[in-house]
Amino acid sequence: MSNIIASESVSQCYLCGTKGAMLHEGLTDQWFGVPGSWNLKRCSGCGLVWLDPMPIKEEVWKAYASYFTHEDYSPNTSRQYMNIADKLAATLCRLFYKIIMRSTTWRKKEKVWRLKGDSMFLGNVTPGRKRLLDVGCGKGSFIARMRGQGWDVEGSEVDADAVEYARSRSGLSVHLGSLEDIHFPDNTFDVITSNHVIEHVHDPISLIQECLRVLKPGGRLVLATPNIESFGHQYFGENWSHLDPPRHLRLFTMKTLRECAVRGGFQSVDVWCPPGYAEGAFPASIERKDKLRGTRRSEFSKCLEASSQKIRAYYHYFVKNEEKAGEEIFLMATKDAQYLAANLEIEKE
């Protein structure tokens, strides 16, 4: 069986139909060796970014043959081979970074944001006996943590190995398949979360519509996805680790993610970009850049670049108040009374 992924040309924007302009050309998969060359285009109208060519839905599974499933993304394993001098230099670099962050109070603020992100901004919600579904739950680490906080949890996942792991190791209720294929009853869940999943799906609006259908009245949808307008992408360009071709089919701005939610039927929608999580994206981006260039640098040099750019990113966020500098976009949408009233009117007609 060929490991070449069949793809198709996608010349027009998914949201507004505008033709895309080339953003990055000739990208390759540096982490898992999926063959092929991929371009990213950006809509000159709404700003959405997408792969062109894009893997067809029937063959996109080939991009995940050796893929991690929602674990901490850390492709850099070079630290285990570092000599003592490099280890000492890298430790001093990280210490210097922490001193700067704490002296500016940025570190404290970042930790607050990260804690909120780790609970998908549900930390202020009293779980009671509320039902939570995590779409694309991977091996279930998030829902296992939320179960420990009192939630009644379930997950959905397309990776059969990850599903088996979650069921056998953690005793979690995880359904195999896409959300649309599982066919939950209407009004089933109080909260639906989906962390770095929507950028992988061919039809984001259809996914959001299905989330709306299975949410209870007043229920919340919380999504997280990479931010194509982030400082990290501005600095690293085609080497930004969150581009991740050919698995990331579309990359969103705050505006385009909100538009997807509105078209999916939500009326009450909020989006924001937390400042955290550059910790993982920046070292991975540096690793990709060095790999493409064939550069061999000391761990200290890479650590220094990552630390200095994280400080710059937080300066843009905390001092210059550039919300778009954050690495991720979070979206929270509520199935509210306006939606219910509109659908009741349709049913009456």
CATH H-level, domain 73-348: superfamily = Vaccinia Virus protein VP39 (3.40.50.150)
User: pLDDT tens across 28-72, in order?
Assistant: 998 888 899 999 999 999 999 999 999 999 998 888 876 655 443
CA torsion 129-134-140-145 (nearest 10°) is -40
Q: Are 188 and 219 in contact (CB under 8 A)?
A: no
Which two three-digit tokens encode residue 208?
Answer: 């959001």
Which two three-digit tokens encode residue 104?
Answer: 């500016």
Which two three-digit tokens encode residue 189?
Answer: 């869940």
User: pLDDT tens across 107-142, in order?
Assistant: 888 888 888 999 999 988 888 889 999 999 999 999
Closest CA to 289 of 314, 277, 306, 312: 306
Which pTM does this prediction carry? Answer: 0.89
User: pLDDT tens across 166-216, in order?
Assistant: 999 999 999 999 999 999 999 999 999 999 999 999 999 999 999 999 999
d(CA 323, CA 283): 22
DSSP codes of every residue in 120-135:
TT-TTS--TT-EEEEE
On the question of pLDDT at 5 being above 60, the answer is yes
51 exposed, middle or buried (CB, 10 Å; 0-12, 13-18, 19+)? buried
Would you kindly state where each structural domain of the chain is located, as residue ranges? Answer: 73-348
